Amino acid sequence: MKALLQRVSSASVKIDNDLLGSIKKGIVILLGIQSGDNDLDIKYIVDKTINLRIFDDNSGKFNYSLLDIKGEILLISQFTLCSDTRKGRRPSFIKAASSEEAIILFSQSIEQFKNTGIVVETGKFQSHMSVEINNDGPVTIMLDSQEI
């Protein structure tokens, strides 16, 4: 499982100009679910994300986590994070989970993030969305549950 985290001052997601979700200060998570991912991958991504110290203290150092600042999450499913671009000019998505497998793990991820008490907004699985991200910093971190 791959999660691209972006620290934001605000973010929103729309489909055809209909607002699905929006957050204020927090993290946008673009979540790529790979074939073979499971509950342990979800647990790693959730625990790492909510406890990762990427928010500034008064001296400008990364000393606060999402929990510390009472930030919010905008969680977006993004299978393209699972692409393989080593060969040719067209990305291969062979490592991405099937849509049937991915929807189950994405739904479980939403629930696990919500169980932490953090406000969670989401996009719509397998939809073409417009995501507005006001990256703060910019701060962008890649997590990969397979690299633990």
- For the annotated catalytic residues, the residue numbers are 78-80
Contact 90, 80 (CB under 8 A): no
Q: Nearest 5°: phi and psi at 46?
A: -65, -55
How far is residue 30's CA from residue 80's CA, in Å, rounded to a whole number? 10
Amino acid (1-letter code) at residue 75: L
* C-alpha 10 chain-centroid distance: 14
The partner residues of 18 in beta bridges, in order of sequence, read: 15
